[in-house]
């Protein structure tokens, strides 16, 4: 998901206290959890969990509570269901925390909604191959259609080893979910998705875990399973870059779920096309269903939006106000074009900077009158492609400053250190918000900016962002590869009449808040009940 940064609270790590009674350890499986809720049990699986750890100055483990749409959505579920969140230990501190807790289960007080979290201590080499080599360097590139095909990909013996690690990584999640589901059919099963302890539903997240639904369904046919893709889905002609067996295994894995969710219809249609093309599955596009191996999987569209009240409350905090004051002093009297992104290859930051440069060339009247705030925060710097892309962003920014900067005007402020309060401050001050990804599952920046803008910002938005399906009527849509048209859209945004800009901004803000995380997650739970 594309929410930037977060301002997590810190708490001393209190591990494992009182959790064995809820999540059965190897010696305790079959024990019923206390305090049953009317909504049954909800299992959530994601690579990154709602809590992470760091080593404090005194050597102790310090917990950070996570942020983001999925974490926010969880808070709405916890009052109606027992919740277990299964995630991976991502750092040495995470692994130390997991090893210190019974079965890797962390103190529920550490997490939003006080959900129980089981952190999986997957061997570092296995995790590295699964996460970086397969998930981020293969599947992510396929779905975002970003391979330099004359040179990449190349699937040889090394990839086969990496794929085995990816299977093992997914299997670890499936086993943890199966255990977390509590008593199985032999211990009081009454009907599909129903145990003597109540309903059990599993919500599996994203391209890191596409094999989990099939693995879990084979172990626990009593559990209702949903899989959600936060990225785009590649159309069949591009998806075929994957080795045939891998392409089929990924699709087969997701079709182990009762429901597969996507952020917009375009991605759902691409998935349906791949199921028909590569599996020969029986696909009903009108009904949004796939029948395969005797199982019917419904396919749904669940847009993810913003909790507007929560976002506005955070943006009114003193640390954000301090950043507003600082940015205002730097840019006094300027119109502000704002972008907030991770330096992911899909975000198209270099072309966005090129479009700003072209704006200053073709419309010199804006020189000295506009400043571009470009916040491009580090992402996946353990991959060489990302390090080089960040360097390209910095080189382009330097060229713009050298070409146009004067003693009393800085045309561009580029920041590459993560600072969430500063991002919120920039949203508040934006006259124009530029969101021009090459391809994006949704993009929450496009929704957050108009909600917070105090200047009724105009939105220049790529047609290739999933958010364009909801916001396209009031945004200025651009082809992300067309630098000249993007520059023209920036000019149009800056010169848009105030009444039009105000009307569009209000509509954008309303659309951005239409599907808050709680509604997004609940819609998927409801889909499992239909």
Parallel, antiparallel, or unpaired: how do β-strands 194-195 and 259-262 relate?
unpaired
What are φ and ψ of residue 230, in 5° steps? -85, -10
433-463 tens-digit pLDDT: 999 999 999 999 999 999 999 999 999 999 9
Band the pLDDT of 17: cuts 50, 70, 90: very low
- Round to whole Å and give the CA distance between 300 and 456: 33
Q: How confident is the model at residue 40 (pLDDT cuts 50, 70, 90)?
A: confident
Between CA 185 and CA 97 the distance in angstroms is 33
Rg of the chain over Cα atoms, rounded to whole angstroms, equals 24
Which domains does the chain possess?
10-304+518-529 (3.40.50.2000), 308-512 (3.40.50.2000)
Which residues are CB-contacts of 274 (< 8 A; sequence separation ≥ 6)?
233, 234, 235, 236, 239, 247, 251
Q: Does an H or E element contain 476, and which?
A: strand 476-478
Cis peptide before 153 (omega within 30 of 0): yes
Cβ burial, residue 196 (10 Å; 0-12/13-18/19+):
exposed
Using DSSP's 3-state secondary structure scheme, residue 294 falls into coil
191 pLDDT band, cuts 50/70/90, is very low
Q: Which of 466, 443, 489, 440 is nearest to 337 (CA)?
A: 489
Show the tokens assigned to 173: 């999640």
Report the predicted TM-score, pTM, of the whole model to 2 decimal places: 0.89
Instruction: Report CA-CA distances (Å) from 521 to 21, 78, 227, 259, 487.
Output: 27, 12, 11, 13, 37
pLDDT for 186 equals 60
Q: Which helix (H) or strand (E) holds 337?
A: strand 335-342
Cα torsion angle, 182, 184, 186, 191, sign: positive
Q: Got the DSSP string for 432-475?
A: EEEE--SSBS--SHHHHHHHH-SS--EEEEETTBTTHHHHTTTS
Decide if pLDDT at 241 tops 90.
yes
- Residue 268's H or E segment, with its range, is helix 265-279
Q: 257-293 pLDDT, tens per residue?
A: 999 999 999 999 999 999 999 999 999 999 999 999 9
More confident residue, 116 or 108: 116
3-class DSSP state for residue 283?
Answer: strand
**Confidence at 28, pLDDT banded by 50, 70, 90:** very low
């Amino acid at each position: 998901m594309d929410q930037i940064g977060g301002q997590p609270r810190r708490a001393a790590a209190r591990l494992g206290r009182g959790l064995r009674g809820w999540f059965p350890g190897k010696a305790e499986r079959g024990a019923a959890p206390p305090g049953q809720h009317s909504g049954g049990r909800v299992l959530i699986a994601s690579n990154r969990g709602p809590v992470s750890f760091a080593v404090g100055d005194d050597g102790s483990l310090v917990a950070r509570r996570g942020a983001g749409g999925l974490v926010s959505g969880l808070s709405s579920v916890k009052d109606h269901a027992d919740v277990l969140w299964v995630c991976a230990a991502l750092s040495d501190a995470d692994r130390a925390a997991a090893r210190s807790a019974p079965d890797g289960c962390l103190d529920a007080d550490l997490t939003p909604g006080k959900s129980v979290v089981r952190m999986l201590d997957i061997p570092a080499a296995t995790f590295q191959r699964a996460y970086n080599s397969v998930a981020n360097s293969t599947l992510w590139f396929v779905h975002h259609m970003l391979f330099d095909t004359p040179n990449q990909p190349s699937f040889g013996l090394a990839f086969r080893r990496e794929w085995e690690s990816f299977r093992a990584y997914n299997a670890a999640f499936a086993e943890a979910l199966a255990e977390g589901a509590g008593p199985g059919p032999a211990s009081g099963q009454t009907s599909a998705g129903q145990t003597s302890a109540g309903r059990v539903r599993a919500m599996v997240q994203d391209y890191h875990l596409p094999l989990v639904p099939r693995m879990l369904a084979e172990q626990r046919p009593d559990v209702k399973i949903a899989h959600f893709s936060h990225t785009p889905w590649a159309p069949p002609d591009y998806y075929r870059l994957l080795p045939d067996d891998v392409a089929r295994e990924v699709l087969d894995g997701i079709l182990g779920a009762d429901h597969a969710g996507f952020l917009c219809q375009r991605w759902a249609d691409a998935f349906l096309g791949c199921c028909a093309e590569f599996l020969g599955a029986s696909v009903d596009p009108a009904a949004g269903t796939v029948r395969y191996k005797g199982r019917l999987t419904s396919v749904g569209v669940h847009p993810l939006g913003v909790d507007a009240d929560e976002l506005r409350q955070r943006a009114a905090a003193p640390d954000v106000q301090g950043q507003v004051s600082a940015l205002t002093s730097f840019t006094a009297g300027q119109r502000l074009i704002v972008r907030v992104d991770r330096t992911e290859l899909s975000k198209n930051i270099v072309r966005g900077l090129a479009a700003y440069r072209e704006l200053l060339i073709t419309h010199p009247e804006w020189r000295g009158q506009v400043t571009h705030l470009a916040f491009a925060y580090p992402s996946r710097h353990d991959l060489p492609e990302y390090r080089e892309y960040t360097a390209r962003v910095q080189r382009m920014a330097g060229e713009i400053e050298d070409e146009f900067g004067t003693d009393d005007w800085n045309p561009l402020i580029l920041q590459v250190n993560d600072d969430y309060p500063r991002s919120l401050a920039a949203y508040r001050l934006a006259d124009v918000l530029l969101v021009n990804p090459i391809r994006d599952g949704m993009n929450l920046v496009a929704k957050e900016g108009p909600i917070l803008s105090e200047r009724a910002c105009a939105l220049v938005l790529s047609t290739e962002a999933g958010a364009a399906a909801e916001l396209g009527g009031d945004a200025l849509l651009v082809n992300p590869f067309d630098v000249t048209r993007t520059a023209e859209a920036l000019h149009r945004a800056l010169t848009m009449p105030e009444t039009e800009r105000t009307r569009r901004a209000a509509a954008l803000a309303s659309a951005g808040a239409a599907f808050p995380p709680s509604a997004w997650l609940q819609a998927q739970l409801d889909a499992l009940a239909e």
